[in-house]
Amino acid sequence: MRKMALTLPCAQGILRSGTFYGREKRTGTMTDFPELEELNDDSAAEETPPAGRRKFLLPLLLVAVVMLVICVVAGIFAFQPFSAVDQRPRIAAMFATATATSTNTPTPTLTPFPTNTPTQTPDPVTPTETGIPTETPIPTPTYTPTPLPTPDGREREYFIPILMYHYVSTPPADADIYRKDLSVTPENFAKQMQWLKDNGYETITLYDLIYALNIGWPPLPEKPIIITFDDGYVDNYENAYPILSDLDFTGTFFVLTDVTDRSAPGYMTWDMLKEMSAAGMSIEVHGREHIEYSGRDTNWLVYHLLGPAETIEANLGYKPRFIAYTAGKYDQAVIDVAHEQGFWAGITTQNGTHHTKDNLFELQRLRVRGDWSLDTFEAVIINS
Ligand SMILES: [Zn+2]
């Protein structure tokens, strides 16, 4: 009787749930199994059934469960046209869902976060209450753009440092003051990143920031920081990327797509960018070439904003959403066209760390200068 009591809620839950595509209505309803109907009644459960019926009850339940399983599997293949996609993870996910339903434990679901997770066409027979666990890999040939979260109407503000780097290498001996200012040596960069790690900073992406501002999700770490690199220099791949990866940090790299297309010396190639993207780095738009965007007409701006975005999408498989204005120059026309073309935010060279929904196309950064000591770096971060 004890074993039966443990088994029953599960069986009842499965039979009650009614989520198995209607097949069980023909093969396994409560009325087909009078024993179950009786046991469904609490008072009946207290009574001791006749010895003969009790003997057959457990095998009968097992048979019913097996029939349901067969119906589910048959239903999946009956309703799903043949495809090359491996269905096993989806079937496993559906069983996981069915189990959660039968125990009446609500499974918290969150919209998959903007990680370019491949998504599948909505399946009309899939229970939608809990969805498919996001950790289940579902191969799919189609790419679904990351949706901009619908703002929930709440005003939020964050003070998060967005660090700005350019070169991560030792400048040549004849470098001018600008090149020296834009260059952080690999040694100093490694020390800065290690200091961040040792002091509890966790890197987030610009996507995280936009989601947090709009819907307050995902929850940000206690000490969030965003690390960005402008211009797409090859030393970013050679020196910065390995250091970031070793510390489990992520970075955002703003590249010049026409420069990348012609494999210009000194700049990262598409192969490098693909590798970095696959490793969790964000590759976003700086422009086609390193020319100023302010004072341009709409056609020019569309060509120089949409063009790089489409090139990155074609090469890396996702639509970039952020532009770092070249030389920090922009005007209202740049903001308007960028917004129209699907960008979520524009990143400036203005000094600051205060971010709200009102200044998404004028995000502030902290320029890390080439002559900074580690003490200076620490002081700037702590006081930001
Ligand atoms: Zn630049």
Residues 169, 58, single domain; the answer is: no
Residues 182 and 92 in one domain: no
362 occurs within a structural domain: yes
- CA of 292 from ligand 1 middle (Å) equals 10
Q: Is residue 269 domain-resident?
A: yes
For ligand 1, the distance from its centroid to the CA atom of residue 154, given in whole angstroms, is 34
3-state DSSP call for residue 118? coil
Find the CATH number of the domain harbouring 261: 3.20.20.370
- Same domain? 48 vs 175: no
User: Looking at the 3D structure of the chain, how many domains does it have?
Assistant: 2
Distance 3 CA to ligand 1 centre (A): 70
Distance CA 43, CA 153 (A): 51
Cα(287) to ligand 1 centroid in Å equals 9
* Token code pair at residue 30: 């409560």
Using the mean position of ligand 1's atoms as its centre, give its distance from the Cα of residue 294 in Å: 14
For position 206, what pLDDT does the model report?
A: 98
- Contacts for 260 with CB less than 8 Å, ≥ 6 apart: 232, 267, 268, 269, 270, 273, 311
Q: 16 by DSSP, 3-state: which?
A: helix
From ligand 1's centre to the CA of 324, what distance in Å? 8
Q: Could you give the C-alpha distances from 18 to 57, 66, 73, 345, in angstroms and in order?
A: 22, 16, 15, 46
Scan for tokens 């206690």, then name that residue. 222
Predicted confidence at residue 379, as pLDDT, reads 97
CA of residue 45 to ligand 1 center, whole Å: 75
Instruction: Examine the domain organization and report whether 55 and 189 are in the same domain.
Output: no
- 289 with 214, same domain: the answer is yes
Q: How far is the CA of 104 from the centre of ligand 1 (A)?
A: 55
User: 10-residue block means of pLDDT along the chain (384 residues)?
Assistant: 40 38 39 45 46 73 81 56 41 41 37 42 40 44 66 90 98 95 98 98 97 92 98 98 98 98 98 98 98 96 97 98 97 97 97 96 97 97 94
CA 260–ligand 1 middle distance (angstroms): 14
How many A from CA of 327 to the centre of ligand 1?
A: 5
| Cα distance between residue 83 and residue 154, in whole Å | 43
* pLDDT score for 144: 59
Strands 354-356 and 157-159: antiparallel
Query: Which pLDDT value is given to residue 380?
Result: 97
- Assess if residue 109 is contained within a domain: no
Ligand 1 centroid, distance to 286 Cα (angstroms): 7
Does 188 share its domain with 307?
yes
**Domain presence at residue 279:** yes
Q: How far is the CA of 258 from the centre of ligand 1 (A)?
A: 14
Instruction: Assess if residue 127 is contained within a domain.
Output: no
Is 170 found in the same domain as 87? no
**Ligand 1 centroid to residue 162 C-alpha, Å:** 15
Residue 15 lies in a domain: yes
* Distance from the alpha carbon of residue 326 to the mean position of ligand 1, in angstroms: 5
| Domain, as residue range, for 343 | 157-383
Q: How far is the CA of 182 from the centre of ligand 1 (A)?
A: 10
DSSP label at 127? -
Q: Are residues 68 and 191 in the same domain?
A: no
Q: Domain ends where: 84, 102, 120?
A: 102
Is residue 123 domain-resident? no
The reply to whether 266 and 202 lie within a common domain is yes
The CA 231 to ligand 1 mean position distance, Å, reads 5
Last residue of a domain, one of 69, 102, 135: 102
Q: How far does the centroid of ligand 1 lie from the alpha carbon of residue 149, in Å?
A: 29
Same domain, yes or no: 303 and 216: yes
The 10 Å Cβ neighbour count of residue 269 is: 15
Same domain? 216 vs 309: yes
How many Å lie between the centroid of ligand 1 and the Cα of residue 338?
17
Regarding whether 190 and 275 lie in a shared domain, the answer is yes
Residue 138 lies in a domain: no
Choosing from 102, 122, 140, the residue where a domain stops is 102
